[in-house]
Amino acid sequence: MIKSERILSGIEAFALPLLALTVSMFLFGIFVMLAGANPGEVFALMYKGAFGTSFSIQNTLQRAAPLILAALCTALPAHLGMVIIGGEGALVMGGLASVAAALALPDGTTPLILQTVMVLTGMAAGGFWIGLSGALRHYRGVNETISSLLLTYIAIAILNHMVSGPMRDPASLNKPSTMPIGDENMIGTLPGMDVHWGLVFGIVFCIITYILMYRTTFGFAARMVGGNARAAAISGLPVGRLLIVTCVIAGAATGLAGAIEVAAVHGAANAPLAAGYGYTGILIAFLARQNPLAVIPVAILLGGIDASGGLLQRRLDLPDATVFVLQGIIFVVILASETLFGRFKIFKPKEAA
Amino acid sequence: MEAADLGLWSVPLAIFAGAIRVSTPFLFVSLGECLTERSGRINLGLEGTLVMGAMSAYAISYLTGSPWLGVLVAGVVGSGFGFLHAIICNMPRVNDIALGIALMLFGTGLAFFLGKDFIQPQAPNLPAIPFGWWSDISQIRSALDINVLFIIGVLLTPAIAFFLKRTRSGMILRTVGDSEDAARAMGFSVARVRMLATMAGGFLAGVGGSFLSLYYPGSWSEGLSSGQGITAVALVIFARWNPLYCFYASLLFGGAGALGPALQAVGITSGYYLLNAAPYILTLVIMIAASSSSRRLAGAPGELSVTR
């Protein structure tokens, strides 16, 4: 009986977001119709831009890599009842720190060592940034949602400051940038594809954190804090440590995304590092119902929507913000659909009747 | 009228003028959010409302030639967003913080989409009142050109404080914010009160947005808001949900925000970006100082989720 209940609630967790997604697409169809475009044409182009050709699939996967990691920034702390929205800041700090570390290494360091150092410093910086939000919440009772967002604005200011001042490459005139890490040190692509290794990092990180959250005592304790923090504290769980460690892991995932963006895409730290992956990551986490494994397909879907924006702009002359509107609609509808959980009899075990 | 050489005196003057300019959107958003939070709900979506307000005000002002009509429409659009937030949050099991983030993304996305055509043309701006007519020095005159919306905000502050403290409706709003059970027992509709409070908050945030596009910086662009909407939400917590403190806090934040440009004007450019982050750093420091892990914040509405 317990088992059938679990399966049914699993189906519910899958079916309701799917329903919400369908409703969002419908609303978006009405929206583009009002904007004077043909919804059928828009959807066909979106599919083509996201998954239609092997080029677009690779473009989609390329974008999905940082999104997967950025989504973990919101998804993991959510298991402890925290709403962290500072992924963009952790990504920026991770990218910036990884460049600083790479540039500090002596000339002649082998690419593998340099990349390892970049990845580790990126994770450390991102972990520190979100860990700060967790620590402030635990030790000072500062709301983590607002503090993580403020930290994001501060991180972007630090990035702009470093890139246009102390760390600026004098050769970068129009687009201030740090010194490049060097072509020979860039992280390469997966064999036979045009997608860089970041995707693998992201998927591995999701699997590890899924096991951590659902198959270990640490995860059990963490989810208990999310269920009832006071009860968890009374039963002797180290609530503060669980809170901060989870935030550090979440931030490390996103800091890693920043390091990879630098080491595999940009080659240096500059303003485009803050490309909004952190904000899309929040949406992905909610759409995936905070489940690290579900994050992977949802991130690929959202990466696809992201990737199709350019095609919509070129072919239908729709503004590039069209995909933001769609993301916004999906986000609002998904949250509204939360109210439907537990309302449908078909998802309840028969025996209850 | 010559520009006199004021030397370093131009820095405090520029900060004074900048504080009034920069604080106006903070003032409107924080007064609006103060009403919403006093009813026991937090609307983080005001950042999106602010951007939507800025875009719609500019578009209406450009199309009709009347900036005041733009301000009004911005307010109406803002209360529309407030309405959306309220009806969805009134459904059970919906998290008001998460929905606020969603509406923030939706509002900015929609504003960028609809505002594409209004980036280039110049729309008529809001007027300023020249309080500096008595002075011969042009910097003082320009510093004392006070915008009308700021004056409205100054008048609105005691009005909202009076509303919350002394009127029956204000009392109902506070009751709903402090205890849902008490409010229900007295026969008030929690959902309806919160809806009205969120719509009023959205209206003010929309007006705050119209200031950005119609006065300072005075044109519509996608980089118009740099998080003022979200900072203002944090500012309300710092102001302990008191409209008068919201006013002082807005001035303080405005002054902090004006620091970077003021120093840049006299040639101090190093650390420009870091100085721009001053309001956020200030907010964070204040929240750290004001919060405590062991007790609730003084003055916090009992039903407010962020302070639990």
Contact: B287, A157; criterion CB under 8 Å: no
pLDDT in tens, B66-123: 999 999 999 999 999 999 999 999 998 888 888 998 999 999 999 999 999 898 888 8
Q: What's CA A254's distance to the chain center, in Å?
A: 7
State the nearest Cα–Cα gap between A287 and chain B, in angstroms: 12
Q: Which residue of A has its CA nearest to B81?
A: A332
Residue tagged 């730290």 (tokens): A269
Chain position carrying tokens 């790479």: A102
In whole angstroms, give the CA distance from residue B38 to residue B151.
24
Q: Which residues of A touch B277 (CB under 8 A)?
A: 153-154, 157-158
From A142, A150, A335, residue closest to B88, measured CB to CB? A335
Q: Do B291 and A146 touch (CB under 8 A)?
A: no
Q: Tell me which residues of chain A have a pLDDT lower than 70.
A: 1-2, 349-353
Q: Is the per-residue pLDDT at B308 higher than 70?
A: no
Report the residue of B94, B268, B284 to disrupt the A interface, i.e. the one with the largest count of A CBs within 10 Å. B284
Model confidence pLDDT, tens digit, residues B162-220: 999 999 999 999 999 999 999 999 999 999 999 999 999 999 999 999 999 999 888 99
User: Which residue among A140, A160, A335 sits closest to B99, beta carbon to beta carbon?
Assistant: A335
B3 pLDDT band, cuts 50/70/90, is low
Using a CB-CB cut-off of 8 Å, the residues of chain A touching B291 are: 140-143
Distance from CA of A30 to the nearest CA of B (A): 14
Residue among B273, B284, B307 whose CB faces A160 most closely: B273
Dist. CA B207–CA B196, nearest whole Å: 17
3-state secondary structure of B240: coil
In angstroms, rounded to a whole number, what is the distance separating the alpha carbons of residues A305 and A54? 16
How much is the pLDDT for A21? 92
User: Among partner residues A142, A164, A339, which is closest to B92 by beta-carbon distance?
Assistant: A339
Give residue A173's Cα distance to chain centre: 31
Nearest by CB: B94 against A142, A147, A336: A336
Residue A253 backbone dihedrals phi, psi, to 5 degrees: -60, -45
Chain A interface, mutation test: which of B44, B113, B119, B228, most A Cβ atoms within 10 Å? B113
CB pairs under 8 A between A and B: 141
CA nearest B272 in A: which residue?
A161
Which amino acid is it at B44?
Answer: L
* ipTM confidence: 0.90
Out of A138, A158, A327, the one facing B109 most closely (by C-beta) is A327
Please name every residue paired with A196 in a beta bridge, in sequence order, or none if there are none: A189
Provide the shortest C-alpha distance from residue B26 to chain A (in Å): 15
Q: What is the CA radius of gyration of chain A?
A: 21
Q: What is the 3-state secondary structure (H, E, C) of chain A?
A: CHHHHHHHHHHHHHHHHHHHHHHHHHHHHHHHHHCCCCHHHHHHHHHHHHHHCHHHHHHHHHHHHHHHHHHHHHHHHHCCCCCCCCHHHHHHHHHHHHHHHHHHCCCCCCHHHHHHHHHHHHHHHHHHHHHHHHHHHHHHCCCHHHHHHHHHHHHHHHHHHHHHCCCECCCCCCCCEECCCCHHHCCCECCCCCCECHHHHHHHHHHHHHHHHHHCHHHHHHHHHHHCHHHHHHCCCCHHHHHHHHHHHHHHHHHHHHHHHHHHHHCCCEHHHCCCHHHHHHHHHHHCCCCHHHHHHHHHHHHHHHHHHHHHHHHHCCCCCHHHHHHHHHHHHHHHHHHHCCCCHHHCCHHHC
pLDDT band at B13 (very low <50, low <70, confident <90, very high): confident
CB contact under 8 A, B44 and A151: no
Model pLDDT for residues B238-268, shown as the tens digit of each residue: 888 999 999 999 998 888 888 888 888 777 7
pLDDT at A352: 46
Which positions in chain A touch B227 (Cβ < 8 Å)?
149, 153
Q: Which of B274, B284, B291 shows the shortest C-beta gap to A161?
A: B274
CB contact under 8 A, A147 and B284: yes
Answer whether B234 sits within 8 Å of A150, measured CB to CB. yes
In this prediction, residue B1 carries a pLDDT of 43
Q: What is the pLDDT of residue B67?
A: 95
Nearest chain B residue to A337, by CA = B94
